[in-house]
Amino acid sequence: MNGTSEGPAPAADLGPSAITDSDEGLAPRAGRTEPPAYRSVFTTAPLAMAVVDAEGLVVSANDSLGSLLGTDPETLAGSVAADLVDLASDAGTWHAYREVLRGHRSRLRCTRRLKRADGHSLWAQVTVEPLAGSGGEGHGDSEGLLLSVADVSARRELQARLRHLQMHDPVTRLPNRALFFERLTAALEAESYENGGTGRIGVCYLDLDGFKAVNDTHGHRVGDRLLAAVAERLTRCAEEAAQARSGPPLVARLGGDEFALLVEDSTGTDQLADLAGSVLAALQPPFELCDRRLSVTASVGVVERHTAGTTPTALMQAADTTLYWAKADGRARWTLFDPERNANRMTRQALAATLRPAIERGEFALEYQPLVGMEDGRVRGVEALIRWNHPQFGVLAPNRFIALAEEDGSIVPLGRWILRTACHQARRWQLAHPDEPPIFVSVNVAVRQVWDSDLVADVAHTLEETGLAPELLQLELTESAVMGSAGRPLQVLKALSDMGVHIAIDDFGTGYSNLAYLSRLPVSVLKLDGAFVRGFQYEAAVSEAAGAGTGAGSGEGAGTGTGTGASAGEGAGVANPADEVIVEAMVQLAHRLGLTVTAECVETSDQASRLRRIGCDTGQGWLYSRPVAPDRISALLGSGPAGVQAGVGNP
């Protein structure tokens, strides 16, 4: 007979035998006659039982056992007891049974699947224990065993139904999260792939796009029917994608509008990509539900890898990350897991986690890039550029971490530190060069600083603390941040301007360019975006620009900016005469509004000449100096225009 052992009984079931000395008549003994009363009880007992001798052969069986097995109980006498209840089908159960037979174990209890004489099967709980007087556990003089068999088919069926309900989603009837992870865990165990198979595994993790809108608009009843309809289409996709060896992928609903398809013994990323593509295609036709025509798309994250060394948590984290990428990339698409992209994400998370502590540990430093007068070549001011001296990733430019700082709010304390440090340094330069006209310092300000901090109070406190005159401080905001400002931002800008602080619009010409609104803002400086200046690269300047080197150029991004600017070689030879016309018009407009103009990304002397002819006031770029430490600025101030022209600020 075929069966499955549930193993020996737990310790609680291994107590002394329930058969007492007065029950000895149940087992035939030499020279003794079995009392009729006990024989009658044994024969008519509702519990199926048999007496087994020391050799493992059935001595007698009662009517209940015959009925249970579908045979005459008298024909069971002399049969091998272990064969009747399938105790020899696995080594563990067989060993435990032999131990009981020898008297070295007090009881064996297991569950077996038995086959009746008529071919029907049943689940039975089998108990084997010594008869009274056998000596019990530890005695080798066992004279026989009592075998009892209880039909537990109904209980097993109930347990199976309860497990099905526990492991399946009631809305879609698909396996739920618990069953999915159970199957995933089993698939990743070494035994499942060491004995054959590809040793690989894949997951398509999908989320319905816009499902919340369906629920909110049409109600949860329609939403549930949509989920069930989606489940049907996913199941068909899985069946069509079934491999002869591994069968169809497991389709599960993980919760909400999230589904997953688990591919065991996958053959590579192509198989998962084809499956993801078929899923998207299957969901494309509209759904006809409740007299409504509903359309839904899905974003799918695809992960495929070796099973060795993979854990369920790691695999699903990768799938979740990839699903997020699919959403971020535009939805209604599938995206394959990219280790390099994930490494960048992990780096980004690591930077975000250490931003605030880095401020306290003093890991940030400022460099300064000169702003030079176009007419006389003298340094008029400097722009403060922040660097993060990260202990693990080295020196980081602002485009690596400023966006993170704005997201988590650490831009406020970081911006406050930049402002205070830059103003202290500007004051030191002023005191160190009393015979030179003082230079201003320009500091970028993020929009979140305006909203989340008292920027006006911070600036006033810093100027008072450092002794720097307000007119020597310039605050830069991007064009997109300033244009359309109303309420608090506009009030802050006006208060700062009334204080005497200069307000500059950075990267002007690439954002809203709302000229009408510009006239109503308290702005004193426009900084032309370097994209216009690069259009000045005419043939005469190509060779000069090519020799200027590569790297991060002017306009690299201010203290709290995010841009990295452009190198001199990046735009070399790209001539666009229209840029010069546009720049000339913007300079004339700015001057009519009483504003000064700074050109970013000035990399060649030819660009500088043309900007000077147009009327640009100041220039900033590698032609004059790359961002440098404070002592290099001191050298520039001491050398005058000749130092700038000689490139003292460029190593």
User: Residue 598 — left, alpha, or beta (φ > 0 → left; ψ -120 to 50 → alpha)?
Assistant: beta
What tens digit of pLDDT does each residue of 301-310 get? Answer: 999 999 998 9
Answer yes or no: do 304 and 368 share one domain.
no
In a domain, 9, yes or no: no
Answer yes or no: do 617 and 475 share one domain.
yes
Alpha carbons 604 and 295: distance in angstroms, whole number: 56
For residue 263, list its beta bridge partners. 202
Q: Taking the model in full, what pTM does it have?
A: 0.61
Domain boundary among 337, 368, 395: 337
Alpha carbons 419 and 361: distance in angstroms, whole number: 17
Answer yes or no: do 324 and 360 share one domain.
no
In a domain, 222, yes or no: yes
What pLDDT is recorded for position 570? 40
What pLDDT is recorded for position 393? 87
Q: What CATH number has the domain bearing residue 322?
A: 3.30.70.270
Confidence of residue 357 (pLDDT cuts 50, 70, 90): very high
Answer yes or no: do 330 and 462 share one domain.
no
In a domain, 412, yes or no: yes
In a domain, 5, yes or no: no
Tell me: pLDDT of 295 over 90.
Answer: yes
Alpha carbons 260 and 300: distance in angstroms, whole number: 9
Residue 123 contacts residue 5 (beta carbons within 8 Å): no
In a domain, 424, yes or no: yes
What pLDDT is recorded for position 550? 34
Q: What CATH number has the domain bearing residue 620?
A: 3.20.20.450
Answer yes or no: do 204 and 316 share one domain.
yes
Answer yes or no: do 152 and 225 share one domain.
no
Helix (H, G, I), strand (E, B) or coil at 125: strand
In a domain, 400, yes or no: yes
In a domain, 640, yes or no: no
Alpha carbons 181 and 163: distance in angstroms, whole number: 15
Confidence of residue 3 (pLDDT cuts 50, 70, 90): very low
What tens digit of pLDDT does each residue of 192-207 get? Answer: 666 678 899 999 999 9
Tell me: pLDDT of 174 over 80.
Answer: yes
Helix (H, G, I), strand (E, B) or coil at 2: coil
End-to-end CA distance of the chain: 88
Of 374, 371, 509, nearest in space to 442 by CA: 371
- Of 443 and 556, the structure prediction assigns the larger pLDDT to 443
The per-residue b/e assignment along 610-631, b for 16 or more CB within 10 angstroms, e otherwise, is bbbebebbbbbbbbbbbbbebe
Measured at the CA of 636, the angle between CA 630 and CA 641, to 5 degrees, comes to 155
Residue 621 contacts residue 601 (beta carbons within 8 Å): yes
Of 323, 598, 394, nearest in space to 476 by CA: 598
Alpha carbons 502 and 440: distance in angstroms, whole number: 10
What pLDDT is recorded for position 125? 95
Confidence of residue 19 (pLDDT cuts 50, 70, 90): very low
Answer yes or no: do 149 and 195 share one domain.
no
List helix spans (H) across 571-615: 577-592, 605-614
Q: Which residue matches tokens 């026989």? A: 144
SS3 content of the chain, % helix, strand, coil (to 5): 45, 20, 35
Confidence of residue 343 (pLDDT cuts 50, 70, 90): confident
Answer yes or no: do 52 and 102 share one domain.
yes
Measured at the CA of 137, the angle between CA 131 and CA 140, to 5 degrees, comes to 80
What tens digit of pLDDT does each residue of 490-526 get? Answer: 889 999 999 999 999 988 876 655 666 677 789 999 9
What tens digit of pLDDT does each residue of 128-158 get? Answer: 999 865 444 444 444 689 999 999 999 999 9
What pLDDT is recorded for position 644? 61
Domain boundary among 280, 311, 337: 337
Q: What CATH number has the domain bearing residue 103?
A: 3.30.450.20
Answer yes or no: do 359 and 308 share one domain.
no
Domain boundary among 283, 309, 337: 337
Residue 399 has φ and ψ, to the nearest 5°, of -70, -10
Q: Which residue matches tokens 């603390």? A: 465
Q: 166-180, 265-279, 556-570: lowest mean pLDDT where?
A: 556-570
Answer yes or no: do 182 and 331 share one domain.
yes
What tens digit of pLDDT does each residue of 394-419 get? Answer: 999 999 999 999 998 999 999 999 99
What pLDDT is recorded for position 579? 78
- For residue 390, the enclosing domain spans 355-537+575-630
Question: How many domains does the structure of the chain reveal?
Answer: 3
Mean pLDDT of 315-338: 95
Alpha carbons 554 and 320: distance in angstroms, whole number: 39
Alpha carbons 626 and 63: distance in angstroms, whole number: 102
Answer yes or no: do 477 and 447 share one domain.
yes
Residue 153 contacts residue 120 (beta carbons within 8 Å): no
In a domain, 562, yes or no: no
What pLDDT is recorded for position 192? 65
Answer yes or no: do 57 and 203 share one domain.
no
